[in-house]
Amino acid sequence: MKKIAFLLILISNFVFAQMPNISNVWLNNSKPYTGTIGNGNQEIKLKINISEQDKNNDQEYFLSGYSLVDKNYTKFEGKLAITKYRDSKKKGSVFGEYELAEENKGKHSGIFKGKFIYTFQWDKTKEKVVGEYIEFIGDWKSYDGTLDFKTRLRNQ
């Protein structure tokens, strides 16, 4: 019943431009997002440790965590902004944009920027959200401008 109420609140709040706090979604159950970076499809992990809804703009979230490529571990901070929501009886989708700035630690640090999609399904029998899928698709550019790679990350 709580999940039905959550979904109804989520839907009605989009209509009235008030977003419920779904900051826990971006934490991904304390698991890193995994994916690829660059043409060689090198493995990348992105772990979000802090996710907070912006008090002045409930469609935006402040994120903090770290990225890991090979042995290059770099902290980042940034934001995620919800731009669109779509709902049907069994499936919901949230769309938006993100920008995450890594600590400037030299050539292998930069900015992640792109779009995301969060989809989920509602299980009537269990009365809860199931089948959550989050994907971040975008680019990573080094601060010095010498490196520019495509990125694709998703939840586990």
86 and 96 Cβ atoms separated by less than 8 Å: no
Q: What is the pTM of this model?
A: 0.83
Whether residue 17 lies inside any domain: the answer is no
Cα separation, 133 vs 5, whole angstroms: 21
- Give which of 17, 20, 18 is closest to 7, Cα–Cα: 20
Range of the domain at 70: 23-154
pLDDT of residue 16: 47
User: Which residues are bridge partners to 95 per DSSP?
Assistant: 84, 117
Token pair, residue 108, equals 């292998």
- For the chain, the domain total comes to 1
Residues constituting the chain: 156
- Report the pLDDT value the prediction gives residue 37, as an integer from 0 to 100: 96
When mean pLDDT is compared across 16-20, 24-28, 55-59, the lowest value belongs to: 16-20
In-domain check, residue 79: yes
